[in-house]
Structure 1
């Protein structure tokens, strides 16, 4: 949901608030947030055996190839069964490692029906050399079935390394040559206006991965875009800014839900807020920015930057820990009276529009201000971690 959506759009919330049924309003808002955070997204990665599919699946899940739960690499394909790999932090997002069509005896359309194409949102077709006839057959089959596909040329870091020794070496020229070669070949095989993304699974912050992410985001239905955004590794500063903007647009829902469900004040805080909902919101922020302990450890393993060095640049006390009501209280009290007592200007403007009772207004604005301050701090930490790990 973007900034143009408003909490009263959640069916039944306005009626519940007008009838002073705060518990029902809080339950509806909580249900809405859970649905938004659990929208299924199913991504297929396919290509010939050895093309780098499994490494790409692992990279998108923030895993190294030798991590527990990683897709096995270097394994000869002997089965037609798609292998599902849920994201470790967002199990609603599943990456499917599909056997390349070259390993089957079926024509593309029959193959797609056999693997249950209708449940997949889009297909990424990978090659580490040149795209072949089988890749094109599959792309055409996907097109006929009204699904989206994307060509990814993998392992471009190997190509760059291989060319680096040459006297007139130019990385840009090497990349252009690879891209042009892939595009010409796909055209000859019958694909109109093909776009090829050059990617290294071990260096997502380089080459065309950001262009691929933008294309996927643009082509997905609106309700699935956030699911993709939150599982994306922080491969450049822009993705961190996008995550912050999207999370900020959800704060009004958390604030309204917290105010409506605030039967008991957070211990030590004079304003009643729903502690459980706050814990859920902050936990979501931390995971989306990759600042939870498992994500930071996986980033350390992938980049070779020691975990302690990554943690050393983090200022927020909410990163790399389990988020609890007690910890939030400690953090909130350190934010000072600004967070607890002064209504955020932005939040105040929302109150008349939402139509929440005056008695809930202070709780709403307090929660809104607290979450805004926490979100800003975590986004800054995500930026520092990115710079330490990848710059």
Structure 2
């Protein structure tokens, strides 16, 4: 059910359950949607030269990180090697060995690497695309899967050109490199190749944002969200997109809260709501890269000291991790939310109408709380990004 029609079907099922006043079914359907969204997998295959640095940059980690793909001047990948995302283990980048070797001959390459599990392929080259790259692209075409050419180390090329040309123009240089790559691929009878120029040293530069946008447009809906949230924050726009993706799910969490809010036992709804908020806010922190391990990786990757990144963060949820105590303390600062919670518990004792009113108040409490916290964390992510870029 990993597509837009599947999501619409769950929306329909939830509405029908609400019309029937089937509280248990409402909760079950919402949980089904949330579990599916959380467990969706995304498998990205990368092959070519200079790919290990790109694998690491894609996951937002430094080449020296203990979880980094090994880099070197010679081909280091001899086997199909998975590199799970540090925050989203269901998102995996697979480092593939080169095509055309004795162990991985062209005719059997895709079968031997297990092409069925990959959502798309990225073919990388640090200089020019070779005959084997084209052979692989043609084999992938036969499977109807997507593939993209990435020309890496563009920052090196630009620097070299700047040193050697008196009338250097970066835009003109990039156009020439891209056109040369496309022409070289077309000369080998590959039609309409998509070529993206990137620097693994700084993904904000050149074509990486365009590559991300292309992948988002061509992935199924649920995989699109998984891809977006796993991406490093390469722009303020990306942070805003992540916030938008999280906002789209707030209503489901709030409806799940409302379903629990109908339980006529004092204290149950409040306890479940706080546990739910901890789980969701933890997702926000990870998605924005604001957890401590992510901040330390960002510090290593960007060269900005970790303590400097911490200084620009205003939320207390970052320093020690998201806990129920911290959330209760944070939410208690907003009197409206406290009144909603008190009213919800009180309504349960009102005959007949008490439970429906309580469910509505539970929805409003969770909906308002999540949106408020989401605003706070998105602003922190923007401050961190601005500090890294300053």
Which aligned pairs between 1:134-283 and structure 2 lie closer than 5 A?
134-165=132-163, 166-262=165-261, 274-283=273-282
Q: CA 1:304–1:341 in structure 2 vs 1: closer, same or farther (change >3 Å)?
A: same
Aligned to 1:94: 92
Report the CA distance between 1:338 and its aligned residue: 3.2
Which aligned pairs between 1:340-355 and structure 2 lie closer than 5 A?
340-341=338-339
Runs of 5+ consecutive residues of structure 1 not aligned to the other structure: 344-355
CA contact (8 A) 1:45 1:98 kept: yes
Is the partner of 1:37 in helix, strand or coil?
A: helix
Is the partner of 2:87 in helix, strand or coil?
A: coil
- Whole-angstrom CA distance in 2 between matches of 1:338 and 1:82: 54
Is the partner of 2:123 in helix, strand or coil?
A: strand
Report the CA distance between 1:127 and its aligned residue: 0.3
Aligned to 1:128: 126
Q: CA 1:380–1:7 in structure 2 vs 1: closer, same or farther (change >3 Å)?
A: farther
Q: CA 1:226–1:123 in structure 2 vs 1: closer, same or farther (change >3 Å)?
A: same
Q: CA 1:182–1:139 in structure 2 vs 1: closer, same or farther (change >3 Å)?
A: same
- Whole-angstrom CA distance in 1 between matches of 2:64 and 2:240: 30
CA contact (8 A) 1:64 1:298 kept: yes
Report the CA distance between 1:173 and its aligned residue: 1.8
- Whole-angstrom CA distance in 2 between matches of 1:363 and 1:156: 52
- Whole-angstrom CA distance in 2 between matches of 1:321 and 1:34: 26
Report the CA distance between 1:37 and its aligned residue: 1.5
Report the CA distance between 1:201 and its aligned residue: 0.8
Q: TM-score, normalised by structure 2?
A: 0.88
- Whole-angstrom CA distance in 1 between matches of 2:9 and 2:293: 33
Of Structure 1 and Structure 2, the greater helix share is in 2
- Whole-angstrom CA distance in 2 between matches of 1:117 and 1:229: 23
Aligned to 1:346: none
- Whole-angstrom CA distance in 1 between matches of 2:143 and 2:228: 25
Report the CA distance between 1:357 and its aligned residue: 3.1
Work out whether 1:317 is the aligned partner of 2:316: yes
How many correspondences in the alignment?
A: 371
Aligned to 1:287: 286
- Whole-angstrom CA distance in 2 between matches of 1:265 and 1:138: 62
Q: CA 1:291–1:320 in structure 2 vs 1: closer, same or farther (change >3 Å)?
A: farther
Aligned to 1:71: 69
Report the CA distance between 1:27 and its aligned residue: 4.6
CA contact (8 A) 1:265 1:272 kept: no
Q: Deviations over 1:167-197 (max 9, x none)?
A: 2222212211111110110110111122210
Work out whether 1:108 is the aligned partner of 2:106: yes
Work out whether 1:61 is the aligned partner of 2:59: yes
- Whole-angstrom CA distance in 1 between matches of 2:87 and 2:377: 17
Aligned to 1:26: 27
Report the CA distance between 1:76 and its aligned residue: 4.6
Q: Deviations over 1:297-336 (max 9, x none)?
A: 00000000011111111111222432111111011112x1
Q: Deviations over 1:12-70 (max 9, x none)?
A: 68538845544x643543342122012010000101xxx22111111111111110111
- Whole-angstrom CA distance in 1 between matches of 2:42 and 2:107: 22
Q: CA 1:55–1:265 in structure 2 vs 1: closer, same or farther (change >3 Å)?
A: farther
- Whole-angstrom CA distance in 1 between matches of 2:7 and 2:96: 37
- Whole-angstrom CA distance in 1 between matches of 2:380 and 2:9: 29
RMSD of equivalent CA atoms: 2.6
Q: Deviations over 1:267-315 (max 9, x none)?
A: 9xx9675221111110001111101111110000000001111111111
CA contact (8 A) 2:124 2:151 kept: yes
CA contact (8 A) 2:7 2:33 kept: no
CA contact (8 A) 1:341 1:366 kept: no
Runs of 5+ consecutive residues of structure 2 not aligned to the other structure: 342-354
Q: TM-score, normalised by structure 1?
A: 0.88
